[in-house]
Amino acid sequence: MSDASTASPEGRILRIARLIPDPVVIFMALWPIFFLASVALGGFSYEALSPTGGTVTQTIRDMSERANLLWIFDNMIVQNWLAFGGGVLGIILLIVMAVGVAEHAGLLGALIKRAAAGIPERYLALAVVFLGVMSSLASDAGYLILVPLAGLLYASLGKHPLAGMAAGFAGVSAGFSANLIPGTTSDVIMGVNARAFAEAQGVPFIGSEGQVLTPPTMTYWFTAASVFLLAPVGAWVTRRFVEPRLEGLPWERPAETDSGAFALSDAERRGLGWAGVGLVLALAAVAALALGPLAAFDNPETGQRVVPYLERLVLLIGFVFLVVGAAFGFGAGTFRSIRDVVTGMVKQMNTMGYVIVLAFFAYNALSLFSHSGLGALLTHLGASGLVALGLERVPVLLLLAFLVLTALVNLVVGGLTSKWLLLGPMFVPMLYTVNPAMTPEVVAAAYRVGDSVTNIITPMMIYAGVILAFMRRYVPGFTLGEMFVMMFPYSVAFLVAWSALLVLFFTTGLPFGF
Q: What is the pLDDT of residues 260-290, one digit of tens each?
A: 556 788 999 999 999 999 999 999 999 999 9
pLDDT score recorded for residue 375:
78
> Within 10 A of 140 (CB to CB), how many other CB atoms are there?
16
- How many CA atoms are closer than 13 Å to the CA of 394, on its beta-carbon side? 9
Distance CA 174, CA 134 (A): 12
> Within 10 A of 222 (CB to CB), how many other CB atoms are there?
27
pLDDT score recorded for residue 161:
92
pLDDT score recorded for residue 71:
96
Torsion of CA 174, 176, 180, 183, to 10 degrees: -160
> 463: burial class by Cβ within 10 Å (0-12, 13-18, 19+)?
buried
- The SS3 call for residue 106 is coil
pLDDT score recorded for residue 126:
95
As a 3-state breakdown, the chain gives helix, strand, coil percent values, each rounded to 5, of 70, 5, 25
> Structural domain boundaries of the chain?
26-508
- What letter represents residue 480's amino acid? L
pLDDT score recorded for residue 171:
96
> For 469-491, how does the pLDDT look when each residue is reduced to its tens digit (9 = 90+)?
889 889 988 887 888 889 999 99
Specify whether the CB–CB gap between 76 and 109 falls below 8 A.
no
pLDDT score recorded for residue 3:
45
Q: Is the pTM of this model over 0.95?
A: no
- Per the document, the length of the chain is 514
Q: Which parts of the chain register pLDDT below 50?
A: 1-5
Distance CA 401, CA 398 (A): 5
The dihedral region occupied by 449, where left means phi > 0, alpha psi between -120 and 50, and beta the remainder, is: alpha
Chain centre to alpha carbon of residue 362: 17
